[in-house]
Amino acid sequence: MMDYENIPLYWINRLGFQARKELSRLFRASGYDVSPEEWAILLVLWSKGPLSPGAISELTIKDRTTVTRLADAMVRKGLVVRREDPEDRRKLLVDVSEKGAVLERHLVPLAQKLVARVLAGIPDTDIEITLKTFRKMSANLRDGPEG
């Protein structure tokens, strides 16, 4: 029998769950009604600017149906707006609203505090090795069964 505590994917999944839960708690405790999933979309929009739902799906690693559902909720909350794509008026882009733009200066510091807490006491060299390992693991999955 395989010992789950020695499987890296167990720890990756566990850390992801814990981080989403804590991020949600931090946002709520600070008075912000933003889920971790909505945060992920805001983060890519702050960084990249207006994007198609397909691009958001790819960057946040969520399926298009989920992105559409989240974007609908975020439009209702006033966090994002939908705009015509200037290059193809048949397509819509999702963009940060004024309210969503203001949130960046409030939410980013909260997330940075969480990241600092997660990484506390871990040497930079260990973090670099871990990131390199995660990238390689991701590439192994992306490249298919043969690697």
Residue 143, pLDDT score: 82
Question: What is the Cα–Cα distance from 146 to 11, expressed in whole angstroms?
Answer: 24
What pTM was computed for the model? Answer: 0.87
Q: CA-CA distance, 51 to 92, in Å (whole number)?
A: 8
Structural domain boundaries in the chain: 4-112
4-112: which CATH topology?
Arc Repressor Mutant, subunit A (1.10.10)
Instruction: Identify the pLDDT of residue 119.
Output: 97
Q: How far is CA 66 from CA 48, 63, 70, in A?
A: 20, 5, 6
pLDDT in tens, the chain (147 residues): 678 888 999 999 999 999 999 999 999 999 999 999 999 999 999 999 999 999 999 999 999 999 999 999 999 999 999 999 888 888 899 999 999 999 999 999 999 999 999 999 999 999 999 999 999 999 998 887 664
Instruction: Note the pLDDT of residue 104.
Output: 97
